[in-house]
Amino acid sequence: MTTENPRLDIDRIIDDRRMRIIVCCGSGGVGKTTTAAAIGLRAAERGRQVCVLTVDPARRLAQSMGLSSLDNTPRLVDGIDDEAGGSLHAMMLDMKRTFDEIVEAHADPARAAQILANPFYQSLSSSFSGTQEYMAMEKLGQLRRSDEWDLIVVDTPPSRSALDFLDAPERLGRFLDGRLIRILTAPVKAGRPFGRVLNAGFSVMTGALTRLLGAQVLRDAQTFITAFDTMFGGFRERADATYRLLQTPGTSFVVIATPEPDALREASYFVERLAEERMPLAGLILNRVHSAGANRLSAARSLAAAETLEAASAQDGTAPSSSDGYPAALLTAAALRLHAERMNLGRREQRVAGSFMSTHPAVPVMEVPALPEDVHDLAGLRRIGGSFA
Amino acid sequence: MTARDTDWDGVRLHVVTGKGGTGKTTVAAALALALAHAGRKVLLIEAEGRQGIARLFDRPPLPYEERKIAIGPGEANDGRDPGGDVYALAIDPEGALLDYLQMFYGMRSAGVALNKLGMVDFATTIAPGLADVLVTGKATEATRRKQPGSASGFTYDAVVLDAPPTGRVGRFLNVSAEVSGLAKVGPVRTHADTVANVIKSPQTAVHFVCTLEEMPVQETLDGIAEIRSVPGMQVGGIVVNMSRPAVLSRQELKAPPDLAAMAAALGSAGLYDTGPLAAALAEEISEHARYIELADRERSELEATGQPIYELPLIAEGIDLAALHKLAAELRDQGAA
């Protein structure tokens, strides 16, 4: 693909010992998880002590790294080339388990048990839309602080928008900050700073919520907030610290997209947002790009040649034939049509990618060709990593 | 009105799901177009606020409001089938909550205040299924809405819901169980039960969109098993999207091409540098053969489910309105609508 954009050099990033975190982000279905694993493997085989943190529960990925399953603890991946002294661990985020561990670490046993049993906590820790992102951030912070690995490759949760990874922790934080919850769950007292008018307004709303959800739900929320109150400060601080860590030069964001309009639109939003947040962008990996071997033969000429062959063969059958008797002219015509289709697809992908690149001319870009098969093993991951070279 | 048997004649609510990147929204839009014929009115609902429908139909972002966005094709050019109308609605949980409060309690203003304070987040967190039940509630309400004087008695002859991806759709649709975990009584519970009555009935079908690749097919199989495990829920068709044509027969793909003969053929068609060109084309053929072999394997896994399969071609130029109409015609020809 012809482009003015600089080429994204993944090897330079993974060979830079000061680089400690690589975040792979992008919208759903673009191959983030596989790319993260391929980067992790390549870095490990180039001598880094790597941990890949994934949030994708696809068993296939675990299997491709020779693990029967991934869980909330980093597991050593066997079978990598460790000649350069590197190692590879992989783990999958269990957001509920991670949340539970924070609660257990920050509250005395009795209070922790009370929180863990609370129905409101249970739905928050397993279902709130921001919890997964928040816990991914928390886990990343834990891995980084442990200092057992010199490079952590993290794959972001499969959300509707790539931006959720940056926004959701803030949203959960705001939510747990609990001013709103407190106002809603506390009985309306006289003389509160918000004044009587607001209080009246809130009681209407509390009433509305009670009617919607039932009183028990609000009582559970109130109990949870009371119990959670004391540990909240530390909770928030840690998330903030991890967020700041992402702004340091030891972090690189790699945005992943397929050459499709939706995926590249998300990539665009993300690139712009990273700049606003002063977070270090390494570049864009354009994944699953189609190309044709005979790329100097255009679709138009290829189709014209196919038509010529078909017409000639229909007319007199004088076209050269192959040894086994199948008319080579027709086979060749079919191959030319196939080639034209691939050229058209490739040209469309170039056009779509081109609009991203002309909007972001300074963003380094690298292409990974489309493979006919999914990745099943380390060799498959290594092959993807090979296209980073 | 022309009577024509389709695979889903009794279905009024078509739920369309699929793995991210498989073209779920495109297929939902094409299905809505396909259903809009013979004067029928179809509502296309987008559940996840991405405004993908507006982009597909080349319109400005859709508000929380049902508005007409396209005209379905007529069956014939003789004027007997005047075509139909496609309306679209983009639902977000906030809008659906306001709608709900207004519809059942006349409490819109309280709802607006709730929304400003981030209370919708709060409410949907307390009851994780709440956002889902509000969205599916809106879809089922539109499905059931009556309009005296219309041919069917309903406002819409069919509703197509562009639902969340396969990984989440079971939870999204099995709304009443999810909400009941928290809200055991009260109006939301009642509402959820009403929604479930529509979703777990023969008038609703869940269609799956996938491509012939391993992960999307696996997710589709898992999704189908999940829907089947819920009593009353109906799995619809499987739409294989972005299918690449098999230019050569399976037999031709197997035989190694005779490079010299190919080069000669290329030369006779007026091309140059025929030796390397023949080699490159042969390599393209063998790659294509690998793709077709894999696709056949995945297709047979889908066939094993026994659900009807519809196959839509990859449109290399990208999806525009003309392409949507082409896909809609494919769906109709194959009996999906």
CATH architecture entry for A10-292+355-386: 3-Layer(aba) Sandwich (3.40)
User: What percent of chain B stands above pLDDT 90?
Assistant: 51
Kindly determine whether residue A328 and residue B21, on different chains, have CB atoms separated by under 8 Å: no
Q: Kindly state whether A75 is in contact with chain B, defined as any CB-CB distance less than 8 angstroms.
A: no
Instruction: Write out pLDDT tens, residues A340-373.
Output: 989 999 999 999 999 999 999 999 999 999 887 7
Provide the domain limits for residue B196. Answer: 13-246+303-333
Residue among B21, B285, B316 whose CB faces A345 most closely: B316
Mean of pLDDT values over B161-173: 88
Q: Which H helix or E strand runs over B41?
A: strand B41-46
| Chain A residue closest in CA terms to B98 | A208
- Given a cut of 70, whether residue B178 has pLDDT beyond it is no
Domain boundaries, chain A: 10-292+355-386, 299-348
Kindly determine whether residue A211 and residue B215, on different chains, have CB atoms separated by under 8 Å: no
Mean of pLDDT values over B253-267: 88
Instruction: Write out pLDDT tens, residues A293-304.
Output: 888 899 999 999
| Chain B residue closest in CA terms to A321 | B261
**Does some domain include residue B147?**
yes
**Does some domain include residue B20?**
yes
Question: Collapsing DSSP states into helix, strand and coil, what is residue A340?
Answer: helix
Instruction: Write out pLDDT tens, residues B28-38.
Output: 999 999 999 88
Mean of pLDDT values over A253-275: 92
Q: CATH number, domain at B58?
A: 3.40.50.300
pLDDT (0 to 100) of residue A61? 72
How many angstroms separate the CA atoms of B7 and A279, rounded?
52
Number of domains into which chain B is organized? 1
Mean of pLDDT values over B210-239: 93
Chosen for mutation from A33, A183, A212 (greatest number of chain B CBs closer than 10 Å) is A212
Please state, in angstroms and as integers, the Cα–Cα distance from residue B70 to each residue in A196, B30, B53, B86, B120, following that order: 51, 11, 11, 5, 32
Kindly determine whether residue A205 and residue B318, on different chains, have CB atoms separated by under 8 Å: no
pLDDT (0 to 100) of residue B13? 97
From A74-83, A254-263, B117-126, the region with the lowest mean pLDDT = B117-126
**Does some domain include residue B174?**
yes
Residue with tokens 């863990």: A116
pLDDT (0 to 100) of residue B275? 93
Q: For residues B137 and B111, which has the higher predicted lDDT (pLDDT)? A: B137
pTM of the predicted protein model = 0.86
pLDDT band at A196 (very low <50, low <70, confident <90, very high): very low
User: What percent of chain A stands above pLDDT 90?
Assistant: 42
Q: B315 to chain A: which residues are within 8 Å by CB?
A: none
pLDDT (0 to 100) of residue B185? 61
Dihedral of the alpha carbons of A158, A17, A368, B300, in degrees to the nearest 10: -50
The answer, yes or no, to whether ipTM is higher than 0.95 is no
Cβ-based neighbour number of residue A194 at 10 Å: 11
Residue spans of alpha helices (H) in chain A:
10-15, 32-45, 59-64, 95-106, 109-117, 119-127, 131-146, 164-177, 179-185, 195-213, 215-228, 232-245, 261-276, 299-315, 328-359, 378-386
CA distance B150 to chain A (A): 34
Dihedral of the alpha carbons of B274, B293, A259, A255, in degrees to the nearest 10: -120
Residue among B127, B266, B282 whose CB faces A305 most closely: B266
Q: For residues A200 and A96, which has the higher predicted lDDT (pLDDT)? A: A96
Kindly determine whether residue A208 and residue B111, on different chains, have CB atoms separated by under 8 Å: yes
Kindly determine whether residue B107 and residue A128, on different chains, have CB atoms separated by under 8 Å: no
Kindly determine whether residue B266 and residue A342, on different chains, have CB atoms separated by under 8 Å: no
Kindly determine whether residue B290 and residue A201, on different chains, have CB atoms separated by under 8 Å: no
- Given a cut of 90, whether residue A174 has pLDDT beyond it is no
Residue among A175, A332, A341 whose CB faces B265 most closely: A332
Kindly determine whether residue B118 and residue A301, on different chains, have CB atoms separated by under 8 Å: no
Instruction: Write out pLDDT tens, residues A205-246.
Output: 667 667 666 677 777 777 777 777 667 677 777 778 888 888
Mean of pLDDT values over A193-198: 47
- Given a cut of 70, whether residue A85 has pLDDT beyond it is yes
How many angstroms separate the CA atoms of B141 and B155, rounded?
11
| Chain B residue closest in CA terms to A60 | B215
Residue among A181, A309, A345 whose CB faces B269 most closely: A309
**Does some domain include residue B286?**
no
At A384, list the tokens: 């993807």
Size of interface A-B (CB pairs under 8 A): 210
In 3D space, the residue among A18, A161, A213 whose CA is nearest the CA of residue B123 turns out to be A213
Q: Kindly state whether A184 is in contact with chain B, defined as any CB-CB distance less than 8 angstroms.
A: yes
How many angstroms separate the CA atoms of A57 and B33, rounded?
35
What's chain B's average pLDDT? 86
| Chain A residue closest in CA terms to B183 | A213
Half-sphere exposure of B138 (CA within 13 A, CB side): 32
